[in-house]
Amino acid sequence: MTVWDDVVGQQRVVDQLSAAALAAGALITADPAEARPDSSAMTHAWLFTGPPGSGRATAARAFAAALQCVSPDRALGAAPGCGFCEGCHTTLVGTHADVEVVRTDLLTIGVKDTRDLVRRSSLTPAGGRWQVIVLEDADRLTEGAGNVLLKAVEEPAPRTVWLLCAPSLEDVLPTIRSRCRALVLRTPPAEAIADTLVRRDGVDPQMAAFAARAAHGHIGRARRLATDEGARTRREEVLRIPQMVSDIGGCLKAAQQLVDSAVEDARQVAEGTDAKETEELRAALGASGAGSRLPRGTAGVLKDLQDRQKRRATRTQRDTLDRALIDLAGFYRDVLAVQVGAATELCNAELRPTIDRFAASSTPEHTLRRIEAVLDCRRALDRNVAPLLALEAMTVSLRAA
Amino acid sequence: MSVRHGMLWGMARTTKKDDPLAPVTLAVGQEDLLVDRAVAQVVAAARADDPDTDVRELTPDLLRPGTLAELTSPSLFAERKVVVVRAAQDVAADTVKELKAYLTDPAAEITLVLAHAGGAKGKGLLDAARKAGAREVPCPKMTKPAERLGFVRTEFRAAGRSVTEEACRALVDAIGSDLRELASACGQLAADVEGTIDEAVVARYYTGRAEASSFTVADRAVEGRTAQALEQLRWALAVGVAPVLITSALAQGVRAVGKLATAPRGMRPGDLARELGMPPWKVDKVRQQMRGWTGDGLAVALRAVAEADEAVKGAGSDPAYALERAVVAVAQAARSGGR
């Protein structure tokens, strides 16, 4: 096993990163008296891009582990990133002192948090190798936060490496983009995903093949589908929508149902964490126990926490809706594939009869318009249109198209 | 409330329940205009009795322990005095004690007016004053349109003028909910106009509309009345209704029509209301609006509203234009079935 095992179907990127890790190791072990070794394979800032679920964050973390690898085999010529040594292991489980993983369950990363990150980035690595900062949601940096990062990413401390992840190059500021070396991950093939599910998660091969197809190349989603019965049920519900939207009442009902299930999802996520967080904060402020009053002047802190929880709920709702829309678009993609007689594999092979029926009863133009409606809805949600309204506009378009 | 002035205070002067010169007057409520009027009435009555009446207005911060005793102690010239305590609910605890003591034993030459908001705050003082048999003038905020109409009618009646019902309504529409403005408008009309005050007179003095809600815009649009809907939209934007509220009201209006149109037939009104999640009166209203709508019309309208919602949230450069387009689209869709 090596650290690269979890990076699914990205051989080219893995080769490039191993070479970089090797060069990075050479930089550290080089005798300062001699000339610096050729280090063009390694650089101080990387931007991992690729479609959602292609494993950007996993690749970044694997690279971080390879940078921190202290395996004695390296001296014998082995590639760094053994996956067993203390450096690799602690990085992968997230406890390495010199690897900072920044992610957010909110909608954006703000200036305040970023300033703090910049300060920490200039620390000398405690382990003597590299100070690695993995910014998993670089696309969620606000514009102000991006500007705060500029200087730090352009000229970091000698042993600091920035690993930024974003869905596409356009998702980060041009000024940040130009300061990073770009790595493009491809959508992993379904076979590679299925293989990983079987090997790593012990999923039944048939289920793994289904999940890999249904997830459209999204590794995390595939695993969720393969292991979580609830996720499969919800997906089936979403895929029933094309049959529900035959009349206006059905359209409105379908939209309402999607929003309800998203709200329910957010509520389930919140149920576990919100109450606990609130109670912990109250205890920290000295007001533990139900009904006891908060000390004077601390109500604001609690309000902040509630605001954050609310933003998190919004994010969960949006993510759920987005996933549903992707599934829906996948269905129409299959219909289109059948209509034009494309010889590709269907995402929803198990729905073949329904898909055939849809393909026979409409034209490719209709199908394309429907896919367009789904994508328009995603864009509208992204622009903060009221979810129910956006979905209704979509479902009535699915009907009318 | 039963008031037994003479017995309680053993005063030389016998007081009736509505005598403004009762030793203690309570103005209870949050409508400033009415409170001011209650105070002015007492002052005017006192001045009529004795033109040299001294009027003292006190706010809670001016009212320190001892102030009251100083003001209410007998003066050398035995002059009449009116002491007004504003915002009596905010008076400090020490002073409340003094006030309560005074209430049980008021001075003969002095008329005390307590303006109290009437809430739970400072309720002790309010209760004590009531118990002592103070004259109470209710000054509640007027929240319902019908109350404001009634207010306007009484204003004109008090000025001895006749006024038509439509004129009252037009005045309330044009001026809105601020009672002070309503009162001064009534005063001006009564002073300037001779004869009966009718709608035409009001229109000459006051045009426009002070309050327009997003729901009126949506109602007119869903009924297919394009011109009225656009007019309401302009008023709503002019008085500062947020564009997002208007798109959300439009969406609700169209959605309600869609839900009712596709609801199962033959349900009892109560069950139908529950099924649709609307109160029964709303169901009746939507049923009226439903005429003229078609399925395709609903689809067009929903898409138009969603587009407008996106535009007012930053995707477009002019929210007002986006809203107008949506309103026109909805109103047109409302007539798609022909009526």
Q: How confident is the prediction along chain A (401 residues), in pLDDT tens digits per residue?
A: 688 888 888 899 999 999 899 888 888 887 666 666 666 888 999 999 998 888 899 999 999 999 999 888 887 878 888 888 999 999 999 899 999 998 887 788 889 989 999 998 988 898 888 999 999 989 999 989 999 999 899 888 888 999 999 999 998 999 999 999 999 999 888 888 998 889 888 889 999 988 988 888 888 888 888 888 888 888 888 888 888 888 888 888 899 988 988 888 788 878 878 888 888 888 888 776 666 777 777 888 888 888 888 888 888 888 889 888 988 999 999 999 999 988 788 888 888 888 998 888 889 999 999 999 999 999 999 888 999 999 999 999 888 65
| Closest residue, chain A, to B314 (C-alpha) | A383
Does B264 touch chain A if contact means CB atoms closer than 8 Å? no
pLDDT tens per residue across span B305-323: 999 999 999 888 899 999 9
Task: Return the HEC string of chain A.
Answer: CCHHHHCCCCHHHHHHHHHHHHHHHHHHHCCCCCCCCCCCCCCCEEEEECCCCCCHHHHHHHHHHHHHCCCHHHHHCCCCCCCCCHHHHHHHHCCCCCEEEECCCCCCECHHHHHHHHHHHCCCCCCCCCEEEEECCHHHECHHHHHHHHHHHHCCCCCEEEEEEECCHHHCCHHHHCCCEEEECCCCCHHHHHHHHHHHHCCCHHHHHHHHHHCCCCHHHHHHHHHCHHHHHHHHHHHHHHHHCCCHHHHHHHHHHHHHHHHHHHHHHHHHHHHHHHHHHHHHCCCCCCCCCCCCCCHHHHHHHHHHHHHHHHHHHHHHHHHHHHHHHHHHHHHHHHHCCCCCCCCCHHHHHHHHHHHHHCCHHHHHHHHHHHHHHHHHHHCCCCHHHHHHHHHHHHHHC
pLDDT given for residue A294 in this prediction? 75
For residue B297, the distance in angstroms to the closest alpha carbon of chain A comes to 10
Domain with CATH 1.20.272.10 in chain B: 209-333
Chain A residues in contact with B314 by the CB 8 A cut-off are 383-384
ipTM score: 0.71
Report which secondary-structure segment, H or E, holds B141: none
> Are residues B299 and A390, on separate chains, in Cβ contact within 8 Å?
no
Whether A66 contacts A17, CB under 8 Å:
yes
pLDDT given for residue A67 in this prediction? 92
pLDDT given for residue A299 in this prediction? 81
| Residues with Cβ within 8 Å of residue A62, at least 6 apart in sequence | A3, A4, A6, A7, A14, A17, A81, A92
Chain B residues in contact with A385 by the CB 8 A cut-off are 306, 309-310, 313
Cβ pairs A/B, distance under 8 A: 66
pLDDT given for residue A377 in this prediction? 93
Does A97 touch chain B if contact means CB atoms closer than 8 Å? no
Model pTM greater than 0.80?
A: no
CATH number of B209-333: 1.20.272.10
Does B34 touch chain A if contact means CB atoms closer than 8 Å? no
**Residue in A244, A246, A248 to test binding to B, most B beta-carbons within 10 Å:** A248
Does A384 touch chain B if contact means CB atoms closer than 8 Å? yes
Partner residue facing B309 (CB), from A252, A385, A396: A385
For residue A390, the distance in angstroms to the closest alpha carbon of chain B comes to 6
> Are residues A389 and B303, on separate chains, in Cβ contact within 8 Å?
no
For residue A274, the distance in angstroms to the closest alpha carbon of chain B comes to 29
Chain B residues in contact with A386 by the CB 8 A cut-off are 247-248, 251, 309
Map out the domains of chain A as residue ranges.
Answer: 11-31+38-184, 190-227, 244-400
- Residue A4 burial class via C-beta count within 10 angstroms: exposed 0-12, middle 13-18, buried 19 and up: buried
At residue B151, φ and ψ (nearest 5 deg) are -60, -45
pLDDT given for residue A75 in this prediction? 79
**Residue in A375, A392, A397 to test binding to B, most B beta-carbons within 10 Å:** A392
Does A247 touch chain B if contact means CB atoms closer than 8 Å? yes
**What token pair was written down for A177?**
């983009």
> Are residues A252 and B262, on separate chains, in Cβ contact within 8 Å?
yes
pLDDT tens per residue across span B88-144: 888 888 888 888 888 888 877 888 888 888 878 888 888 888 888 888 888 888 887
pLDDT given for residue A39 in this prediction? 67
Chain A residues in contact with B319 by the CB 8 A cut-off are none
DSSP state at residue B65? T
> Are residues B296 and A400, on separate chains, in Cβ contact within 8 Å?
yes
Does A284 touch chain B if contact means CB atoms closer than 8 Å? no
Partner residue facing B261 (CB), from A248, A389, A390: A248
> Are residues B309 and A397, on separate chains, in Cβ contact within 8 Å?
no
Partner residue facing A385 (CB), from B261, B263, B310: B310
Chain B residues in contact with A388 by the CB 8 A cut-off are 251, 255
Partner residue facing B295 (CB), from A248, A393, A397: A248
Question: pLDDT tens track of chain B, all 339 residues?
Answer: 444 443 334 343 444 556 777 888 888 888 888 888 888 888 888 888 888 888 888 888 887 777 877 777 776 666 788 888 888 888 888 888 888 888 888 877 888 888 888 878 888 888 888 888 888 888 888 887 788 888 888 888 888 888 888 888 888 888 877 888 888 888 888 888 888 888 888 888 887 666 678 888 999 999 999 998 999 899 899 888 899 999 999 999 999 998 888 887 777 878 888 888 888 888 888 888 888 888 889 999 999 999 999 999 988 889 999 999 999 999 999 988 765
Does B239 touch chain A if contact means CB atoms closer than 8 Å? no
| Closest residue, chain A, to B262 (C-alpha) | A249
pLDDT given for residue A250 in this prediction? 87
> Are residues A393 and B255, on separate chains, in Cβ contact within 8 Å?
no
Is CATH 3.40.50.1820 the right assignment for the domain spanning A11-31+38-184? no
Beta bridge partners of B83: B56, B112
> Are residues A396 and B302, on separate chains, in Cβ contact within 8 Å?
yes
Q: Which CATH architecture has domain B5-138?
A: 3-Layer(aba) Sandwich (3.40)
Q: Compute, in degrees rounded to 10, the torsion defined by CA atoms A62, A68, A70, A71.
A: 10
pLDDT given for residue B7 in this prediction? 39
Chain B residues in contact with A251 by the CB 8 A cut-off are 258, 299
**What is the sign, positive or negative, of the torsion defined by CA atoms of A184, A189, A195, A197?**
positive
CATH number of B145-205: 1.10.8
Domain with CATH 3.40.50.300 in chain B: 5-138
